[in-house]
Structure 1
Amino acid sequence: MSLSSSSPVPVPRTAVPLGITDPVEKARAELKATLAAIEVKGNLPRRVANSTERNVAKARAFSRQSPAAAAAAVVVGAAAIGLLVWGAVRAYTR
């Protein structure tokens, strides 16, 4: 494949395509790109879901590579949460 191919390069949703000469069309393209960027940045539930999916995939890969270390991490995490809850209840009841 050569670098000088005539196929168009895909433009991301948050970018304005080059070569627009009409000012109205350019303003529309800029507005469309701006709204897409706001949606990407402002859609917190989607960002959290994507981040969660990435972290779950990493955790599954880690547990496949070293199951003993993954089990130890689960035990340590459970103990830490237990100590945190115990400390909070103890502080609350005093």
Structure 2
Amino acid sequence: MSDQFTFTVTNDTEQAITELWVSVDDEDWASFTLSDSGIPSGETVTIAWAEYTNDSPCEWYISAVFEDESETESALFNFCEEPALTIG
């Protein structure tokens, strides 16, 4: 049994999400590794946190980048209370 924490991301937009970024402080950002197709429009994927984040706070800022290189505003999200995120 893995101690890895996961969450789901549903892409409710017209474009594929090509990058997903998170930050504890809205300043230093890290990206999740997505498949080559990213998160296609209308799809839901499960993403695993890196093990080093296990002792991190529940609240993280998250931002998505789309195939046309536009991006969402960063939003604070509580991954402990809501492990399912919808973008769009």
Is the shorter-chain TM-score for this pair beyond 0.5, marking a shared fold?
no
Q: Which has the larger radius of gyration?
A: 1
Normalised to the residue count of structure 2, the TM-score between the two structures is: 0.19
Normalised to the residue count of structure 1, the TM-score between the two structures is: 0.18
